[in-house]
């Protein structure tokens, strides 16, 4: 999969050289390109922003600069504009379902805005050439889209075949079945007077699976009752009772 990130802070994406994503890149599974938006800025000051029409605080990122940048980057692979992702607190929430959909794409471009955001015509124009999706990480405000780009690249990459050592890890994730995961334990068996739950050492796989399902339901009910409601809706009460 090819991923392009356009930002005025390319160094912000440096963590993508490390860990799972770094290894996936070196293995040739993820072809990641980070571009400095200022490359497409013109004029002596290389400005990428201007004051907002209608007034108000802050600055808005200039459509001409973003238009040139996105045309160039999306044209890098002829006949495949891929999906353009735009991080913004005004987007629909990021979910594992959306991430899984993006992991199926052959390429993604992530347009990181700063200041009060990108001129509203930029995503409208980009949608003339390919799919565009705005997304938010949650109900709080970040200073720009770079951290959201890190989040998406990592979440998508681990679903690309070959990136995770054990593909079963992705299937056992919180959210893949709509529930939060049960807590996990390793050696030592007893630590600071806290013991590993004995059932996990019983060798009874059925009992272990039931214990994990119960902790999973308990945890979800305690911290994310909204996920349980959604699951009941999705499965119907009968199927839910059988789980
Ligand atoms: Cl995706 N961008 C910004 N700037 N702020 C956010 C966000 C994204 N998600 C939550 N807050």
| Pocket residue to mutate for ligand 1, from 98, 142, 153, most atoms within 8 A of Cβ | 142
In angstroms, the Cα distances linking 33 to 7, 153, 224 are: 11, 11, 36
User: CB of 220 within 8 A of CB of 228?
Assistant: yes
User: In CATH, what class is 2-157?
Assistant: alpha beta
State pLDDT tens for residues 1-47.
999 999 999 999 999 999 999 999 999 999 999 999 999 999 999 99
Supply the ipTM of this predicted assembly: 0.96
Rounded Cα gap, residues 137 and 87, in angstroms: 8
Rounded Cα gap, residues 19 and 24, in angstroms: 9
Q: Give the pLDDT band (50/70/90) at residue 212.
A: very high
Map out the domains of the chain as residue ranges. 2-157, 172-242
The answer to pTM > 0.90 is yes
CA of 88 to the centre of ligand 1 (A): 5
Rounded Cα gap, residues 74 and 232, in angstroms: 41
Binding residues for S-adenosyl-L-methionine: 113, 137-142
CATH 1.10.599.10 fits 172-242, yes or no: no
Helix (H) or strand (E) holding 195, with range, is strand 194-195
| Pocket residue to mutate for ligand 1, from 110, 137, 146, most atoms within 8 A of Cβ | 137
């Amino acid at each position: 999969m090819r991923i392009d990130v356009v930002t005025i802070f390319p160094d912000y994406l440096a963590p993508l050289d490390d860990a799972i994503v770094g290894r996936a890149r070196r293995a040739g599974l993820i072809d990641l390109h980070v571009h400095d938006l200022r490359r497409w800025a013109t004029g002596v000051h290389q400005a990428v922003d201007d004051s907002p029409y209608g007034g108000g605080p802050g600055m808005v990122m200039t459509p001409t600069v973003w238009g040139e940048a996105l045309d160039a980057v999306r044209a890098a692979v002829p006949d495949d504009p891929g999906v353009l992702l735009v991080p913004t607190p005004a987007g629909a929430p990021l979910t594992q379902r959306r991430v899984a959909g993006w992991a199926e794409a052959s390429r993604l471009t992530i347009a990181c805005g700063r200041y009060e955001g990108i001129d509203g015509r930029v995503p409208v124009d980009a949608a003339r050439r390919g799919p565009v999706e705005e997304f938010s990480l949650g109900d709080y405000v970040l200073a720009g889209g770079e951290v959201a780009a890190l989040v998406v690249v990592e979440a998508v990459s681990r679903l690309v075949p070959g990136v995770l050592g054990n593909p079963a890890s992705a299937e056992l994730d919180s959210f893949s079945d709509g529930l939060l995961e049960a807590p996990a334990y390793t050696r030592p068996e007893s630590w600071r007077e806290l013991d590993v739950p004995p059932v996990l050492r019983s060798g009874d796989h059925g009992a272990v699976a039931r214990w994990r399902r119960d902790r999973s339901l308990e945890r979800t009910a305690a911290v994310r009752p909204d996920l349980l409601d959604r699951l009941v809706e999705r499965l119907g009460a009968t199927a839910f009772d059988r789980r």
